[in-house]
Amino acid sequence: MEDTGRHLLKFKGYYFKRVGLDVDFLENLDDFEIRDDDVFIITYPKSGTIWSQQLLSLIYFEEHGKRTENLETVDPVPFLDARPSHLFSTHLPHYLVPRGLKNKKAKVIYIYRNPKDVMCLYFHFSHKWAENEAKTTIEEFMELFLEGKVTGSLWFDHIKSWYEHRSHFNIHFMMYEDMKKDLINSVLKVCRFLGKELNEEVLDAVVRQATFQNMKYDPLANYESILNSQPEGKRKEGPFLRKGTIGDWKNHMTVEQNERFDKIFQIKMKDFPLEFIWDI
């Protein structure tokens, strides 16, 4: 365990948020019991975690769609380190997830998003989170991101290693930008992967309730409670769901920053077969 002296802790080569980190839980995670019908959402932070949590909640729990229970989006799909369930979300790298997952018992959905947008939204998010003591400029944050000195470590490693180890898992890759462009189709593909059949009416309801507009103004679906859980007086203004668009990086990065990012991307992602959508 390496203490970085910032808001991060490095455990087995991977950076975690210091606040709330349960090291004993992580030490024993390899043995965490995996059931055949477990489903894991895996994301690098800021790649569409809450959106896919919302989708899985709606696909699996009709009450969630009907709002007959006062469930928050995150409740039915908790973070793995939060509490037991059949549906989980996590940002962990492939080598830290429970061993049982590697025996293809559970299903894994890996959501990814173009890393320039990820970096820029992460920059915004880092200013919303009270414990991030060092407030950075986008220039400084880009360096931290490119060095992997952020929760989730290096974006390039995260996606590449999940992809390279895909044959060990029962895994479905889904791109944020594809969800944006054609949510029905993305939901249908996920349902096929999960072996779930939704009739047209339910499918419509799932898609309707997972739109950005719907989630942004729904306090049960927009992580308001998570932002509000920060210490009084330290809360930052601004919603968790900000824009939900493709290509917002163009409003943040300078030409030089973009060129530098491209160069590094080309080296790191050489021969990587998944495509990315950078703008609309």
Positions in the binding site for ligand A3P (CB under 6 A): 43, 45-51, 121, 180, 210-212, 215, 241-245, 248
- 3-state DSSP of 90-109: ECCCHHHCCHHHHCCCCEEE
User: Catalytic site residue 165?
Assistant: no
- Closer residue to ligand A3P, CB minimum distance, 14 or 51: 51
Element (H, E) at 132: none
CB of 43 to ligand A3P, least distance (A): 5
CA torsion angle for 33, 31, 170, 189 (degrees, to 10)? Answer: 50
From the CB of 51, what's the least distance to ligand A3P, in Å?
4
Gap between the Cα atoms of 214 and 114, Å rounded: 23
Catalytic entry in 91, 94, 158, 252: 91
d(CA 196, CA 204): 15
Q: Counting runs of H as helices and runs of E as strands, what totals does the chain give?
A: 13, 7
What is the H or E stretch that residue 271 is in? none
> What is the smallest separation between the CB atom of 91 and ligand A3P, expressed in angstroms?
8
Residue with Cβ nearer ligand A3P (9 or 222): 222
Shortest reach from residue 65's CB to ligand A3P, in Å: 14
Residue nearest to ligand A3P (CB): 244
The residue ranges of DSSP E strands in the chain, in sequence order, are 2-3, 8-11, 14-17, 39-43, 87-90, 107-112, 171-175
Q: Which is nearer to ligand A3P, 4 or 245 (CB)?
A: 245
Q: Considering the complex, state which of residue 105 and residue 242 has its C-beta at the smaller distance from ligand A3P.
A: 242
Minimum gap (Å) between residue 109 Cβ and ligand A3P: 13
Nearer to ligand A3P, 78 or 244 (CB): 244
Structure tokens at 113: 């998003």
Q: What are the b/e assignments for 138-147, b being 16+ CB within 10 Å?
A: beebbebbbe
Question: What interhelical angle do 200-209 and 49-60 show, nearest 10?
Answer: 150
User: In the bound complex, what is the minimum distance in angstroms from residue 258's beta carbon to ligand A3P?
Assistant: 18
Nearer to ligand A3P, 4 or 211 (CB): 211
Residues 241 and 216: their CA atoms lie apart, in Å, by 6
| Residues with Cβ within 8 Å of residue 189, at least 6 apart in sequence | 172, 174
- Mind telling me the catalytic residues? 91
